[in-house]
Amino acid sequence: MKKKALYVGSFDPITNGHLDIIKRASVHYENVVVGIAANNQKNSFFSFEDRKMMLQEVLKDSPNIKVDIFTGLLANYVNENKFDFVIRGLRATMDFEYEIQMAQMNARLYNHNVETIFLMTNPKYSFISSSLIKEVFSLGGDIQGLVPEIVLEHMKKKVTREE
Ligand code: COA
């Protein structure tokens, strides 16, 4: 049975919403790779290496989950690594239009059979995004419980260093 799945995103930073999707996916697939997309236009808060380090730390007790950084097209990365599934999380109806567009474009670009699987985001986290986390944090708001502890620590350290 085919069981190699990829979960992609910017993860700047990883949130508990992402983590919930990753953990749930890892129950259904033998190998899950969390792929950090290194080429999008978004302003970076954490470097790609820092994001990878934090993801590896929070996932260190999950031997079937690996973390990687990729550049270029998602479809190329999927083709080269022969993933069978691409996992995406859906938070609300607003995600749907963007997701279907991306899934259908990617489907044209895959060179083998790849299914995009959507997991519903846990309602506890359906209102968060990495940008919202950064905004609330930078204005002194409480983000405890919305990101892993290690992320919170690194956000505090980074802001203190930059002050
Ligand atoms: N819990 C909490 N937040 C979540 C979430 C969840 N379950 N799922 C998504 N989010 C957040 C993300 O953190 C992100 O926040 P941000 O916009 O503030 O950074 C936002 O929701 C959107 O998530 P997503 O759609 O996954 O965007 P992304 O920037 O994290 O990832 C890629 C987008 C990497 C998948 C996409 O840009 C890509 O494939 N890039 C490669 C280039 C390519 O192939 N392009 C052509 C595609 S057809």
124-159: per-residue pLDDT in tens? 999 999 999 999 999 999 999 999 999 999 999 988
Q: Is there an atom of ligand 1 within 6 Å of 126 CB?
A: no
Asked whether 69 and 30 are in contact (CB, 8 A), the reply is no
Q: Is there an atom of ligand 1 within 6 Å of 103 CB?
A: no
Separation of alpha carbons 152 and 147, rounded Å: 7
Q: Is 130 a catalytic residue?
A: yes
pLDDT band (50, 70, 90) for residue 28: very high
pTM of the model: 0.95
Q: Is 91 a catalytic residue?
A: yes
Closest CA to 91 of 16, 13, 29: 16
76-117: per-residue pLDDT in tens? 999 999 999 999 999 988 889 999 999 999 999 999 999 999
With the most atoms of ligand 1 within 8 angstroms of its CB, the residue from 19, 130, 135 to mutate is 130
Separation of CA 82 and ligand 1 centre (Å): 21
Range of the domain at 78: 4-162
pLDDT of residue 2: 60
Beta bridge partners of 151: none
Asked whether 106 and 116 are in contact (CB, 8 A), the reply is yes
Q: What is the CATH number of the domain that holds 138?
A: 3.40.50.620
pLDDT of residue 43: 80
Q: Is the dihedral of CA 94, 18, 28, 34 positive or negative?
A: positive
118-127: per-residue pLDDT in tens? 999 999 999 9
Q: Is 18 a catalytic residue?
A: yes
pLDDT band (50, 70, 90) for residue 40: low
Name residue 49's amino acid: E
Separation of alpha carbons 64 and 36, rounded Å: 17
Count of domains for the chain = 1
The tokens for 52 are 């990878």
Residue 122 phi, psi dihedral angles, 5° rounding: -55, 130
